[in-house]
């Protein structure tokens, strides 16, 4: 099952993508606001836009290293909806996607227990040049948990590739740049 979001009210509509072929156009009518909108199967303007924005951001940060910094795998526990979001050097502010939310590592979710600005992973390099990941909670309403232990406010926790942490009812796995998704 796939989900599409209404561009007007941001309501999710689910449909079975296996019934359609790649490149086929579909028209939906939102049951909440009656807005009609179309999509093309297998083509995501949002992902292309995000890729372009990430490329522009990487080009503007040419002074920072251009090597991959890893990614987070977001698994929404209710629907088992998986998203892979690349990380960048510096602060990666993680939270729920909402139109106009300025954070740089937003993901789509219907989990109301995930804040818009929930936690941050800072990516840097140690003295030996290895990637270092530091997780902190951004004073969220439901907290950030690593191995079922809550990170207290203002505390920072060093995490490694493969670490599972939870925000709200959503699980996130940190993947290093060399790991397969």
Q: Is residue 75 within 8 Å of 82, Cβ to Cβ?
A: yes
Q: Which of 108-112, 153-157, 171-175 has the lowest mean pLDDT?
A: 108-112
Q: Which tens digits make up the pLDDT trace of 63-88?
A: 444 568 899 999 876 666 789 999 99
Q: Is residue 142 within 8 Å of 112, Cβ to Cβ?
A: no
Helix and strand counts by DSSP (H, E) for the chain: 1, 15
pLDDT of 72 reads 93
Task: Please state the pTM of the whole predicted model.
Answer: 0.62
The number of C-alpha atoms within 13 Å of 87 and in the hemisphere containing its C-beta is 29
pLDDT of 78 reads 65
- Of 20, 39, 21, 19, the residue nearest 30 (C-alpha): 39
Q: Which of 15-24, 50-59, 103-112, 141-150 has the lowest mean pLDDT?
A: 50-59
Domains belonging to the chain, first-starting first, are 2-41 (no CATH), 50-175 (2.60.200.20)
Q: Give the integer Cα–Cα distance in Å for 21 and 44.
A: 14
């Amino acid at each position: 099952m796939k989900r599409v979001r209404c561009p007007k009210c941001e309501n999710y509509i689910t449909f079975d993508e296996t019934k359609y072929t790649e490149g086929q156009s579909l028209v939906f009518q939102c049951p909440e606001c009656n807005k009609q909108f179309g999509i093309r199967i297998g083509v995501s303007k949002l992902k292309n836009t995000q890729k372009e924005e990430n490329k522009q951001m990487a080009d503007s940060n040419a002074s920072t290293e251009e090597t991959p910094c890893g990614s987070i795998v977001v698994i929404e526990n209710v629907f088992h909806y998986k998203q892979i979001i690349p990380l960048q050097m510096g602060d990666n502010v993680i939270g729920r996607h909402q139109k106009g939310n300025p954070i740089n590592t937003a993901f789509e979710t219907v989990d109301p227990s995930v804040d818009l600005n929930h936690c941050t992973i800072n990516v840097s390099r140690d003295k030996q040049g290895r990637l270092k990941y530091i997780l902190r909670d951004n004073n969220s309403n439901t907290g950030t948990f690593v191995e079922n232990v809550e990170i207290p406010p203002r505390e920072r926790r060093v995490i490694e590739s493969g670490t599972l942490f939870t925000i709200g009812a959503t699980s996130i796995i940190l993947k290093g740049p060399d790991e397969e998704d």
